[in-house]
Amino acid sequence: MLLHVRLSGWACWCLFSGVFSVFSLQQRLTVNLNGKWRLSNSNGSLLLPAQVPGCVHSALQQQGYITDPYFRFNDVSYRWIALDNWTYTTTFTLSAELSVKQKVLLVFDGVDTVGSVSLNGIAVGKTNNMFCRHEQSSFSWDWGPSFPTMGLWKGVRLEAFDILQLVQVSSVPLYNDAFSQWRVQIELLIDAVQTARGQLTLSIPELDSEQTFQTHFNPGKTKSNFTILINTVLEMTPVSLLCYPPQVYFRTVELIQEPVVGSPGLSFYFRINGKPIFLKGSNWIPVHSFQDQVTPDVLKNLLQSAVDANMNALRVWGGGVYEQDLFYEICDELGIMVWQDFMFACAMYPTETDFIQTVREEVVQQVQRLKSHPSIIIWSGNNENEAALATDWFDIPASQRPKYIRDYVMLYVDNIKKLVQEEDQSRPFLVSSPTNGAESEQEGWVAENPYDPHYGDVHFYSYILDCWDWRTFPRTRFASEYGFQSWPSFSTLQPVSIKEDWSYGSNFTSHRQHHEDGNQQMILQTALHFHLPNATDPLKRFTDTLYITQVMQAQCVKTQTEFYRRSRSEIIEGKGHTMGALYWQLNDIWQAPSWSSIEFGGKWKMLHYFAQSFFAAVFPVAFEEDDTLVIYAISDLSRDLKLRVNVFSWTELDPVCTLNSSMLLVPGGSAVAVFKQPVASLLAGCGNCTRLTCLLTFQLEDDSSQQGPTNYHFLCSPKDAQGLRRPNITVKVEEKKTCFSVTLHSDSVAPFVWLDVGNIPGRFSSNGFLMVSRNRTVDFNAWRPTSVAELTASLTITSLRDIY
């Protein structure tokens, strides 16, 4: 026997090392059973062809039995589908070649969820966990519809082989401090029909490393562990957000929880290759109710959108699905760090032996499948279950509490944590999110207050308090969830609605809102700072309302994220050293109001354009404290920077006055105050300015040019602004080499200028901006062929003064 495994697939190595793809000389015959199967319901009234991989809903839709499940109220009309039982059937013949093999396996990569499998009428297997590969779960959250799905959502195949086959290869790089040497730990899962002895060669051509082992496998499935020492001296480069395609970097990950000077509690931050890194990003939810409809293009577009908004991290949240391999491959390539939850969320789970057994299988399979991906920097046991116990979401009687806590520890600590740490020593494990981390452990794994800002991570939501007031936010070590809702744009809603749905008070509008009082909360939060739309034309009033909810959301998340970023370097009243801001949520599962910054279909909301700025590597942020204006420079790089402040009046496109600071070194990975002045003295020095008549813009510069985006600060709510006129904005669209350019000309100051080209898919280089210049040009990248004429005809421009 000779087994040769080549580990390769070094893609674009940014911070990371690691995805190994597999190549084996061992012959195995695979017969793909994907394709057309037959599908029937329990009483036989429906019998139809069905695509595998796929699910029942998709099959019914493809065959015309149902229309789009996302249309209007169809989530209710189609409940019968989930209440029925369905059978997938296919026939296949075993080729002679296949039938002489010593072992033939029938492999189902994903069965959703409870099912049984029979072959020639004989039951051969049972399934009850959609996250296990066979050979729960994710519906009806407040951002999505209730479509419990059924089906063969991944592939089905026959695998036949003699002697042995390689089922899976996974690998993690580990660094040995004592010897200053990297080694790669490689794990092979081997299925052997008979005892096999021989020579195994493991090679990593890109690193010029190869090692040969004498091996011996017993019959059955066995895991074997090998270590290759890496001899090539690898330059340990500092963490950088740039990609250097031809190079290979190894990375270490540490989660640092240690005492903080001047603060009770413990720090909570990630150190990558020895450098502290601030996680900037968002939370990821399933892309579609029907996973078989998630295409590579959709995944690529969403992940590229995250990177383009200057995010470096995403949390794959525990109420959804373990994503497909391609998701992690793209993250590896783009340098997105993944916080990976296990799929347990907001509930108490049973701890019967059967359940624990299926969980253990799920955990082992997922860790083995995913651990070779360098993008994953942490495993996390569950979403909000520690908090649910600590703050008693489920009214557990006091006498039962110890039992619930024991069950919690048994599932997440004694089983999941232990297993994961056996399988993967290369990255940290956190039991829950939010949690106090090491402090929670001290308190028996359920802390008295898992939201304590002095420890671990925090989830924080408040819809009623004024989001423009940063004092309402907890100064946490790490903000792993926070956010505000908004509505998607009209072009996203239009295909799933009809005219009578197009008002804020319609049944449709209420039906799509799955968060209690959500629509009302958005209006209340908006009204704190903006006039509400009052157009007499109902459709305009509706689209203006969609727009203003996006303005509100973008401003709220901007304020909160700026607060976290500027809290990076300081401790105030014992709190601070914030090292992560992951807002809730990146993407949408359907066309409905939610916390997302990207709409179903990929269109960026105003928030996502804002994220481009508030996550920028270099960025100035302003806030007021006791009527003093303070401006911080935030920098992930190390630069000498100075600040320029322009004061504008709402009535004029030329600044009333300009203030410059002197040069100051802003160290890499820091936030430092660069400007401090009482608002009153600032205004007194600037023409006739008052809080109601003027506003500020400001930017950082080095000796030669502007660094990072321009930011702004309002001195009053825009609803109170004096002199803000309805602008006359004219526009010209031109075709350039690779995109279209849109040049705007305005005759007055215009806040939140929003360009929308309806259902032409694509995105602008910038949008939702404050216009304080006569002219501004932005690019539009179309995702399908279009023309100047089509764009010009579709383009609408809305700014704040257009809605009242």
Closer to ligand NAG at the Cβ: 225 or 399?
225
Burial of 99 from C-beta contacts in 10 A (0-12 / 13-18 / 19+) = exposed
Closer to ligand NAG by CB, 506 or 765: give it: 506
Taking the complex as a whole, how short is the minimal distance between the CB of residue 745 and ligand NAG, in angstroms? Answer: 4
Closest CA to 415 of 381, 369, 440: 381
CB of 185 to ligand NAG, least distance (A): 6
C-beta of 202 vs 311, nearer to ligand NAG: 202
What is the distance between the alpha carbons of residues 51 and 29, in angstroms, rounded to a whole number?
A: 23
Q: Where are the beta strands (DSSP E) in 702-792?
A: 706-714, 729-735, 740-746, 750-756, 762-764, 769-771, 775-782
Instruction: At 638, list the tokens.
Output: 């190390």
Given 329, 362, 481, 562, the catalytic residue = 481
Q: Which is nearer to ligand NAG, 60 or 152 (CB)?
A: 60
For ligand NAG, the closer of residues 315 and 801 by Cβ is 801
Length of the chain equals 804
159 is catalytic: no
481 as an active site residue: the answer is yes
Instruction: Give the shortest CB-251-to-ligand NAG separation in angstroms.
Output: 20
Cα–Cα distance for residue pair 389/395, rounded to 1 Å: 9
- The distance of closest approach from Cβ of residue 536 to ligand NAG in the complex, given in angstroms and rounded to an integer, is 5
Question: Helices 325-334 and 296-308 sit at what angle, rounded to 10 degrees?
Answer: 30
Q: Which parts of this chain interact with ligand NAG (CB under 6 A)?
A: 41-43, 45, 80, 84-85, 187, 225, 422-423, 507, 531, 534, 536, 644, 658-660, 687-688, 728, 730, 745, 774-775, 804
Label each residue of 408-431 as H, E or C: HHHHHHHHHHHHHHHHCCCCCEEC
Strands 429-430 and 376-380: parallel
CA dist 175 → 212, 252, 394, 398, 470 (Å): 21, 7, 44, 47, 41
Tell me the closest approach of the beta carbon of residue 196 to ligand NAG, in angstroms: 19
- Least distance CB 360 / ligand NAG (angstroms): 14
Residue 440, CA distances (Å) to 215, 351, 431, 510 in order = 44, 21, 9, 40
**Nearest distance from C-beta of residue 87 to ligand NAG, angstroms:** 11
Which position among 323, 333, 384, 599 bears the catalytic label? 384
Run of H or E residues at 545: helix 538-566
Q: What span, in angstroms and rounded, lies between the C-alpha atoms of 42 and 45?
A: 8
DSSP 767: -
Alpha-carbon dihedral 512, 518, 520, 526, rounded to 10 degrees: -110
Q: Are 277 and 300 in contact (CB under 8 A)?
A: no
Q: Is 67 or 85 the residue whose CB approaches ligand NAG more closely? A: 85
Cβ count near 348 (within 10 Å): 16
Instruction: Single out the residue of 641, 722, 571, 648 nearest to residue 262, CA to CA.
Output: 571
- For ligand NAG, the closer of residues 87 and 90 by Cβ is 87
The minimum distance between CB 84 and ligand NAG, in angstroms, equals 4
Nearest distance from residue 368's CB to ligand NAG, in Å? Answer: 9
Q: Answer yes or no: are the C-beta atoms of 580 and 569 closer than 8 Å.
A: no
Q: Which two tokens stand for residue 586?
A: 């990146």
Contacts of residue 531, Cβ cutoff 8 Å, sequence gap at least 6: 719, 803, 804
Residue (316 or 744) nearer to ligand NAG, CB: 744
Cβ-based neighbour number of residue 444 at 10 Å? 12
What does DSSP assign to residue 668? T
Q: Which residues pair with 644 in a beta bridge?
A: 660, 699
Residue 67 CB, nearest approach to ligand NAG (Å) = 17
Q: Which is nearer to ligand NAG, 209 or 426 (CB)?
A: 426
CB of 642 to ligand NAG, least distance (A): 9
Alpha-carbon separation of residue 659 from 620, 644, 656, 677, 753 (angstroms): 15, 6, 10, 11, 26
Q: Which is nearer to ligand NAG, 146 or 730 (CB)?
A: 730
Q: What is the DSSP letter of 320?
A: S
- Of 516 and 537, CB closest to ligand NAG: 537
Q: Which of 325, 334, 319, 322 is nearest to 296 (CA)?
A: 325
CB of 220 to ligand NAG, least distance (A): 16
What backbone torsions phi and psi does residue 769 show, to the nearest 5 degrees?
A: -85, 165
Q: Which is nearer to ligand NAG, 305 or 497 (CB)?
A: 497
Beta-carbon count within 10 A of 620 CB: 29
Catalytic residues: 384, 481
